[in-house]
Amino acid sequence: MINKFVASPEAALADVPNGATILIHGFGNAGMPAELIDALIAQGARELTIVNNNAGNADTGLAALIGAKRVRKILCSFPRQADSWHFDRLYRAGEIELELVPQGTLAERIRAAGAGIGAFFTPTAYGTKLAEGKETRRIGERDYVLEYPIHADYALIKADRADRWGNLTYRKTARNFGPLMAMAAKCTVVQVRETVELGEIDPEHVVTPGIFVHRIVRVPASLKRAA
Amino acid sequence: MINKFVASPEAALADVPNGATILIHGFGNAGMPAELIDALIAQGARELTIVNNNAGNADTGLAALIGAKRVRKILCSFPRQADSWHFDRLYRAGEIELELVPQGTLAERIRAAGAGIGAFFTPTAYGTKLAEGKETRRIGERDYVLEYPIHADYALIKADRADRWGNLTYRKTARNFGPLMAMAAKCTVVQVRETVELGEIDPEHVVTPGIFVHRIVRVPASLKRAA
Amino acid sequence: MKKLDRKQLAARVARDIPEGAYVNLGIGLPTLVADFLPKGREIILHSENGVLGIGPKPAPGEEDEDLINAGKEPVTLLTGGAYFHHADSFGMIRGRHLDFAVLGAFQVSARGDLANWHTGAPDAIPAVGGAMDLAVGAKKVLVMMEHLTKSGESKIVERCSYPLTAARCVDRIYTDLAVIDVKPDGLHVVDIVDGLDFQELQRLTGVPLKKPLIAA
Amino acid sequence: MKKLDRKQLAARVARDIPEGAYVNLGIGLPTLVADFLPKGREIILHSENGVLGIGPKPAPGEEDEDLINAGKEPVTLLTGGAYFHHADSFGMIRGRHLDFAVLGAFQVSARGDLANWHTGAPDAIPAVGGAMDLAVGAKKVLVMMEHLTKSGESKIVERCSYPLTAARCVDRIYTDLAVIDVKPDGLHVVDIVDGLDFQELQRLTGVPLKKPLIAA
């Protein structure tokens, strides 16, 4: 019997090695897998490359991972926020590498990894600092920049519901990067609010099919930290 | 008030010019917008370029459009079927041009058009007849072929439900190319089994958001031909 | 002259958004446009983080941390709205499905180059978000900004000194002093605030302007 | 010797598909494998046209024209299945998410090249479907075919004479005579049908074979 449920965030992340590339779901706090990140901090892996839209807020979640100096490099679209002090401090000290990627290009590069696309031409960032040194091409009447996929070892995702095959639904704008990141990692680890019996998710409403999901941990909303 | 409903298939397709490129949804009969195709035949536009996974079955729908000699060129992955006699006859007579595209490349080229991607490298067809003359590149450990988007003037789609903003759901494997084609055309025309009030489609369950849809015609199942 | 305040500027932009338009409002000043869209006109607001049909701010206590806009502020969803993932969301943007993007700016050049993401200061932490996607993707890019910097320099310039967001992307500029169209043959003034004449607007602006066909 | 019939061949392939595998069964002979998957083993079947979790054929009269497989035959959906669109479906294929694709073949070369889409005959109407995507995308490509053509020639060849579907993609070949692994150092016989010895198999096959470690 296929059963992708695992007992705890700690068990789900026990094998993360130093130097791993990890996609972390979430746009700000919406979709951020806080308990999985806590487990990653506790697990101790270092020299990580992290992919997230942002670079953490305040002192929890991704910000705590960065603050604990576990992150060698981050790929994101919007690191600078009022409360991104952990990232700001390490960035100014030269202790964390930043690859700034336009948000749509970030999403598309993650999708490309999941969908087996080797590279793609996007119009975004053409003629800007963020395309410096990159291959460009005029196709039709638009100019494009060549961008490459972002493959990862792990994806850490927060979804709403999951069944034991790994079919997922999300909640409102907490969907954001989740379905893309789930496709792009060798091992996709998901925390969900609720686990359900097979068949409780209508096959028309599955957002991430189980083929993309490897490990699922239930984190009931009642256990959630006061954010 | 936004209202994308139109009165009839004929009204929805009145402005199709000769020489238009038209995406036609459907994998075999599942998702094929038969009544819209009938209206296109009645409308009379000629020299069409058609994109569909197949090249028509038996004597109705796309096969009838081809049989009526309205199609100059077809892009598809699988034209040859036991009952594709209209296509077969015109193809052997040199009266229809065929661009054979692997199925996944066909889907991805349509998506690329909808998503503003200028071109992409795919591993499919590398080293085969279908990549002859195309640009190739080794990226990492795989070889890729460069493929370009398929932009269209119209998309003809069969969906299950629609509201007046154009939000769509599909039914089972009749989803297939629909959500992709809806993104890739200047004018997306949809026939649906049922029209519903705004809000009846759960925002979590919308498959094609209304931004991609321009005209909707209700074709109740009771009016469907005996297939 | 009567400079427009932030609300008046937002109302001026809102007036130009037609029924049925799909619109992305950038973070900051452009977000204010939502409050001034004419009642009874159905306009569908998009946010990069995967939502179409954004409604008014939630009542206090009704916020949902899973329903936010690109500025990470709590929002509501209109009846008829839809959720989708980031690749679909930016497919809408890059694929030219949005009718309008309304964006803030540091500078706009006479040929429509936009600079709105980075001051270029060596110690600044760069952050781009969806700005570059919106600038290249929307059918029409509308810029909202103050006409002058705090030190009185024109933000409409011959050539942007700040790093570009995208080249030749801006269609129309709304400032607290005027509305100006960016066209292939130059900058065309559409209207000017009361009490300011074309000559004075030209004097304040860094680059040549063309008079409106009907004098303001 | 006891050549395997179509059902026996399908059962032989089915035996090798492990619990939890995601599998695409090609049109024709490979589709038959579904009927022989061991009961109690959960295996999830994928079809190119946007479905995971294909179940048994529907009972007569229970067919749904909107629920078909890639061969356009009516199917059912298992509890736990899911629908999705073609770009996601081929993302699964190209992105190496499928554990196995089971494909028919005209020819397989000694280095694992596959020819299964086109005879190359000048008057043949070419049709490729999802074959090229599956051949390059699945983690393991299993081929099912008769060992010999009707005229007695080996379909395992030094170099394919038919147009290729993909180069160096086949991992294992199941024929009515033997199971053969394609490895970097050549073709390794895994097992042979009763009544056929290695020497005779070698004689029938177009290219050099390596003996199984434990004689069949």
Q: What is the pLDDT of residues B46-64, one digit of tens each?
A: 999 999 999 999 999 999 9
Query: Model confidence at B222, in pLDDT bands (50, 70, 90)?
Result: low
pLDDT value at D72 more than 80: yes
Q: Where are the alpha helices (DSSP H) in chain A?
A: 9-12, 34-43, 62-67, 85-92, 103-115, 178-184
Q: Inform me whether the pLDDT recorded for A224 exceeds 60.
A: no
Question: Best interface-test mutation with C: which of A75, A172, A177, A206 has the largest number of C CBs within 10 A?
Answer: A172
Is C85 close to A128, i.e. CB distance below 8 A?
A: no
Q: Distance between CA D85 and CA A189 in Å, rounded?
A: 24
- The pTM for the full model equals 0.97
| Tokens 């992340």, located at residue | A13
C-alpha D191/C-alpha D181 separation (Å) is 10
Cα R_g (chain A), whole angstroms: 18
Chain centroid offset of residue C191 CA? 17
Q: What is the average pLDDT score of chain C?
A: 96
Which of C102, C127, C103, C107 minimizes the C-alpha distance to C117? C127
Torsion of CA C17, C18, C20, C26, to 10 degrees: -10
Is the CB of D80 less than 8 angstroms away from the CB of A210?
yes
Closest in D47, D66, D167 to B174, CB measured: D66
Answer whether residue A223 shows pLDDT above 50: no
C157-184 mean pLDDT: 98
**Which three-class secondary structure state does DSSP give residue D164?**
coil
Q: Where are the beta strands (DSSP E) in chain D?
A: 22-25, 44-47, 51-55, 76-83, 100-104, 107-109, 114-115, 140-145, 156-157, 172-175, 178-183, 186-192, 209-210
Work out the angle between the directed axes of helices D86-94 and A103-115 (0-180°, nearest 10).
60
The average confidence (pLDDT) of chain B is 96
Chain A residues close to C83, C-beta within 8 Å: 170, 172-173, 175
For B143-167, b/e burial (b = at least 16 CB within 10 A) is: bbbbbbbbbbbbbbbbbbbbbbbbb
Domain presence at residue A134: no
Closest CA to B109 of B54, B65, B53, B160: B53
- Residue A16 has a CB neighbour count (10 Å cut-off) of 20
Residue A149 token pair? 């996929």
Q: Are B105 and D91 in contact (CB under 8 A)?
A: no
How many other C-beta atoms can be found within 10 angstroms of the C-beta atom of residue A25? 30
CA B122 to chain centre: 21
Q: Do B2 and C19 touch (CB under 8 A)?
A: yes
Closest-CA distance of chain D to residue B27, Å: 7
Q: Is the pLDDT of residue D167 over 80?
A: yes
For C142, phi then psi, to 5°, come to -105, 130
pLDDT at residue A113 tops 90: yes
pLDDT of B224 over the 80 cut: no
- pLDDT value for B221: 73
SS3 string, C135-181, reads HHHCCEEEEEECCECCCCCECEECCCCCCCCECCCCCEEEECCEEEE
Token duo for residue A55: 């670079």
Q: What is the rounded (10 degree) CA torsion for C138, C144, C148, C153?
A: -10
Inter-chain residue contact C97 with B1, CB threshold 8 Å = no
Q: Which residues of C touch A149 (CB under 8 A)?
A: none
Q: Give the tokens for residue D200.
A: 């005779």
Q: Determine whether D57 is exposed, middle or buried from the number of CB atoms within 10 Å of its CB (0-12, 13-18, 19+).
A: middle
Q: Which residue has the tokens 């942007």?
A: C160
Residue in chain B closest to A147 (alpha carbons) equals B120
- Encoded amino acid at D55, one letter: G
Total number of domains constituting chain A? 1
Q: Is A136 part of a structural domain of the chain?
A: no
Q: Could you give the CA distance from residue A62 to residue A64 in angstroms, rounded to a whole number?
A: 5
The token pair that represents D117 in the structure block: 């889409």
C114-123, D29-38, D47-56: which range is least confident on average? C114-123
Catalytic residue among C19, C48, C65, C158: C48
Closest CA to A77 of A125, A123, A37, A40: A125
Q: What is the DSSP string of A6-43?
A: -S-HHHHTTTPPTT-EEEE--BTTBT--HHHHHHHHHH
**CB contact (8 A) between residue A140 and residue B121:** no
Domains delineated in chain C: 6-210 (3.40.1080.10)
Whether B28 maps to a domain, the answer reads: yes
- The beta strand positions in chain B, using DSSP E, are 21-24, 48-51, 71-76, 97-100, 119-122, 136-139, 142-147, 152-162, 168-169, 185-195, 215-218
Express each pLDDT in C78-119 by its tens digit: 999 999 999 999 999 999 999 999 999 999 999 999 999 998
C22·B211 Cβ contact <8 A: yes
Task: Give dist(CA B5, CA B216) in Å, integer.
Answer: 5
Query: Which residue is listed with tokens 């009185």?
Result: C152
Cβ contacts (< 8 Å) between D137 and chain B: which residues?
104, 123-124
* % chain B with pLDDT above 90: 94
Contact C129, C70 (CB under 8 A): yes
Residues of C in contact with B212 (CB under 8 A): 92, 97
Three-state SS at D34: helix
Backbone angles phi, psi at B11, to 5 degrees: -65, -35
**Residues on chain C bordering chain B, Cβ-to-Cβ distance under 8 angstroms:** 19-20, 22, 42, 44, 46, 52-53, 77, 79-84, 87-88, 90-98, 137
Instruction: Tell me what pLDDT residue D206 has.
Output: 85
CB C90 within 8 A of CB C72: no
The alpha carbon dihedral of B152, B156, B161, B163 has a sign of positive
> Which residue out of D19, D42, D48, D62 is catalytically annotated?
D48
Shortest CA gap B108–chain D (Å) = 6
CA–CA dist A180, A215 (Å, integer): 16
Q: Which chain C residues have a beta carbon less than 8 Å from that of B211?
A: 22, 44, 46, 52, 92, 97-98
Q: Which pLDDT band, with edges at 50, 70 and 90, does B161 fall under?
A: very high
| Chain B residues close to C97, C-beta within 8 Å | 114, 183, 211-212
Contact between D32 and D71 (Cβ < 8 Å): no
What is the C-alpha to C-alpha distance for residues C140 and C114, in angstroms, rounded to an integer? 13
How many helices (DSSP H) and strands (DSSP E) are in chain C? Answer: 4, 13
Q: Name the pairing type of β-strands A152-162 and A21-24.
A: parallel
- pLDDT-derived band at C214, boundaries 50, 70, 90: low
User: How many contiguous H segments (helices) and E segments (strands) does chain B have?
Assistant: 6, 11
Q: How close, in Å, is residue D94 to chain B by CA atoms?
A: 8
Element holding B34 (H helix, E strand): helix B34-43
Task: List the beta strands (DSSP E) in B71-223.
Answer: 71-76, 97-100, 119-122, 136-139, 142-147, 152-162, 168-169, 185-195, 215-218
**Interchain contact, D50 vs B175, CB within 8 Å:** yes
Mutant choice from C96, C132, C164 vs A, greatest count of A C-beta within 10 A: C132
- In a domain, residue A21? The reply is yes
Nearest beta carbon to residue D136 from set B27, B124, B179: B124
pLDDT digit string, tens, across residues A58-95: 999 999 999 999 999 999 999 988 899 999 999 999 99
Distance of alpha carbon D24 from alpha carbon B3, whole angstroms: 42
> Within 10 A of D212 (CB to CB), how many other CB atoms are there?
17
8 Å CB contact of C85 and A29: no
Buried b (16+ CB within 10 A) or exposed e, C26-54: bbebbbbbbebbeeeebbbbbbbbbbbbb
Range of the domain at A218: 9-121+148-223
Inside any domain, residue A87 = yes
Contact across the interface for C94 and A104, Cβ inside 8 Å: yes
Instruction: Name the residue type at position A142.
Output: R
Q: What is the CATH number of the domain that holds B184?
A: 3.40.1080.10
Nearest alpha carbon to residue A70 among A134, A131, A21: A21
Residue A116 and residue D93: Cβ atoms within 8 Å? yes
The stretch A95-110 carries a mean pLDDT of 98
pLDDT over threshold 80, residue C11: yes
Distance from CA of A76 to the nearest CA of C (A): 8
CA A53, CA D67: separation in Å to the nearest integer?
A: 38
Residue D48 among the catalytic residues = yes
**Nearest CA distance, B99 vs chain D (angstrom):** 10
* Mean pLDDT, range B3-29, rounded to an integer: 97
End-to-end Cα, chain D, rounded Å: 13
Residue in chain A lying closest to C125 (CA): A80
- CA C68 distance to own-chain centroid: 19
pLDDT digits (tens, 9 = 90+) for B81-136: 889 999 999 999 999 999 999 999 999 999 999 999 999 999 999 999 999 999 99
What is the distance of C-alpha C39 from the center of its chain?
20
Residue C104 DSSP code: E
Exposed, middle or buried, D7 (CB in 10 Å: 0-12/13-18/19+)? exposed
Nearest to C97 among B2, B164, B211 (CB): B211
* Residue D160 C-alpha, separation from nearest chain B C-alpha, in angstroms: 12
Residue B102, domain member (yes or no):
yes
The reply to whether B36 falls in a domain is yes
Residues of chain C in contact with residue B206, where contact means CB-CB under 8 angstroms, are 82-84
For residues C143, C146, C152 and C157, what is the CA-based torsion angle, rounded to 10 degrees? 10
| Residue D214 pLDDT grade (very low, low, confident, very high; cuts 50, 70, 90) | low
Task: Answer whether residue D215 shows pLDDT above 60.
Answer: no
In a domain, B46, yes or no: yes
Digit-coded pLDDT (tens) for A117-148: 999 999 999 999 999 999 999 999 999 999 99
The residues, ordered by sequence, that sit 6+ positions from D49 with a Cβ below 8 Å of its Cβ are B27, B30, B173, B176, D68, D69, D70, D86, D89
In whole angstroms, give the CA distance from residue B107 to residue D54: 21
Chain C nearest CA to B207, separation (Å): 8
Half-sphere exposure in the Cβ direction for D42 (13 Å, CA): 14
Confidence of residue C120 (pLDDT cuts 50, 70, 90): confident
Contacting residues of A for B148, CB less than 8 Å apart: 139
Q: Mutate which of D24, D86, D117, D161 to test chain B, going by most B C-beta atoms within 10 A?
A: D86
Q: Which residues of chain D are within 8 Å of residue A186 when distances are taken between CB atoms?
A: none
Q: Do A122 and C94 touch (CB under 8 A)?
A: yes
Q: How far apart are CA A188 and CA A168, in angstroms?
A: 12
- In this prediction the ipTM stands at 0.97
Checking if the pLDDT of B223 tops 80, the result is no
